[in-house]
Amino acid sequence: MNTNHLAIIVPCYNEKEVITETAAFLSRILDQLLSEGKIGKGSVLCVDDGSKDGTWQIIENLSANNPYIKGLKLSRNVGHQNALWAGLEWAAENCDVAVSIDADLQDDPYAILQMIDLFNQGKEVVYGVRSVRKSDTFFKRNTALFFYKLMTGMGVDIVYNHADYRLLSKRALEAFVSYPERNLFLRGMATQIGFQSAEVFYERSERFAGESKYPFVKMLNFALDGITSFSIRPLRLIVFAGGIFILIAIAVVIYGLTAYYEGRAIPGWTSLLVSLWFIGGSILMAIGIIGEYIGKIYKEVKRRPRYFIDKEI
């Protein structure tokens, strides 16, 4: 007899168009898992990340009629990763296994069935991996691919085409929430905790309704955060680049001096101007990258709470 309590964690930010359908879909999945005896208890935890479109009222109404539905209302919008974190902390305390999924039904909920099978075979972390991304735009597909390549190049261990659709066992959940960092990049942390893991492939479809809450600038910020939270390689690259610049500078000095003594030095302001701008640019960028890390340290040392719970149902 299986007694495991499964919580499906759904971060929701202005998702009034989709949340009802998502809750119904996930409830059907829980029905099926319960009837097959693969879990002992099921919950859908909707984490309302400070929505302003009445998502919370819908969650309240849903929970009144559907015993699976539970809700956490955060005091303000803290972002997808922090909202998910609130759900993970709740699950680490109250459940035996959790699956995190977006509210928009882009990630096929049927994959949860396979995830639970793998969990029941002893896997502690199961990654949902998008096998085809044909529903994404050409732009999103390619920027995403570039992002994964860049991350890997920077020495960050992440699973290709895996976002935040994943199963975590109780042990994995407890390991997860023991991470003290404030700059959250959950998909990078997931590969860090170790334990036995597996992958489940699914087709990513279009958003069921509503609009993406990740416009390009937010995506870019997320990618930068991912790299600077997990890798100090950019700093190392600056050191290398600096070394190369010094080598070039030595060559230029030798060339300039010989030209001067041979009397063929011409007053070339072009080269001066170009090098001035180029070096100025490199220094600015280097300072920027260092600043990026200092900013991260600043945020970490403040140890600010990640979120506050306003209401719970």
CB of 110 or CB of 293, closer to ligand UDP:
110
DSSP 204: B
* Minimum distance of ligand UDP from residue 152's CB (angstroms): 20
Which segment (11-19, 87-95, 99-107, 128-136) binds Mg ion by CB under 5 A?
A: 99-107
- Selection from Mg ion, ligand UDP, none that 45 binds (CB < 5 to 8 A by kind) is none
Tell me: does residue 106 bind Mg ion (CB under 5 A). yes
* Minimum distance of ligand UDP from residue 235's CB (angstroms): 29
DSSP 200: E
CB of 49 or CB of 96, closer to ligand UDP:
49
Which segment (72-80, 102-110, 137-145, 148-156) binds Mg ion by CB under 5 A?
A: 102-110
Q: Give the 3-state secondary structure percentages of the chain, helix then strand then coil, rounded to 5.
A: 50, 20, 30
Contact 85, 184 (CB under 8 A): yes
CA geometry: angle 40, 16, 101, nearest 5 deg: 40
Give the Cα separation of 165 and 159 in Å (integer).
11
CB of 77 or CB of 191, closer to ligand UDP:
77
* Minimum distance of ligand UDP from residue 210's CB (angstroms): 8
Q: Which token pair is 210?
A: 């509503």
* Minimum distance of ligand UDP from residue 196's CB (angstroms): 27
* Minimum distance of ligand UDP from residue 12's CB (angstroms): 5
| Residues found near ligand UDP in the complex (CB under 6 A) | 11-13, 15, 49, 77, 79-80, 83, 102-104, 106, 212-214
Radius of gyration of the chain (CA): 25
Tell me: does residue 104 bind Mg ion (CB under 5 A). yes
Give the Cα separation of 159 and 146 in Å (integer).
14
CB of 2 or CB of 77, closer to ligand UDP:
77
* Minimum distance of ligand UDP from residue 203's CB (angstroms): 14
Strand pairing report for 69-74 and 41-48: parallel
Tell me: does residue 161 bind Mg ion (CB under 5 A). no
- Selection from Mg ion, ligand UDP, none that 26 binds (CB < 5 to 8 A by kind) is none
SS3 assignment, position 274: helix
Q: Which token pair is 140?
A: 């999103």
Q: Phi first, then psi: what are they for 73, rounded to 5°?
A: -105, 115
Spell out the residues 6+ positions from residue 220 whose beta carbon is closer than 8 angstroms to its own.
none
Contact 108, 181 (CB under 8 A): no
Count CB neighbours of 144 within 10 A. 18
Which segment (16-24, 95-103, 144-152, 194-202) binds Mg ion by CB under 5 A?
A: 95-103
CB of 214 or CB of 277, closer to Mg ion:
214
Q: For residues 26-65, which are near Mg ion according to CB under 5 A?
A: none
- Selection from ligand UDP, Mg ion, none that 213 binds (CB < 5 to 8 A by kind) is ligand UDP
- Selection from ligand UDP, Mg ion, none that 96 binds (CB < 5 to 8 A by kind) is none
Contact 308, 75 (CB under 8 A): yes
* Minimum distance of ligand UDP from residue 5's CB (angstroms): 22
Contact 29, 105 (CB under 8 A): no
Binding site for Mg ion (CB under 5 A): 102, 104, 106
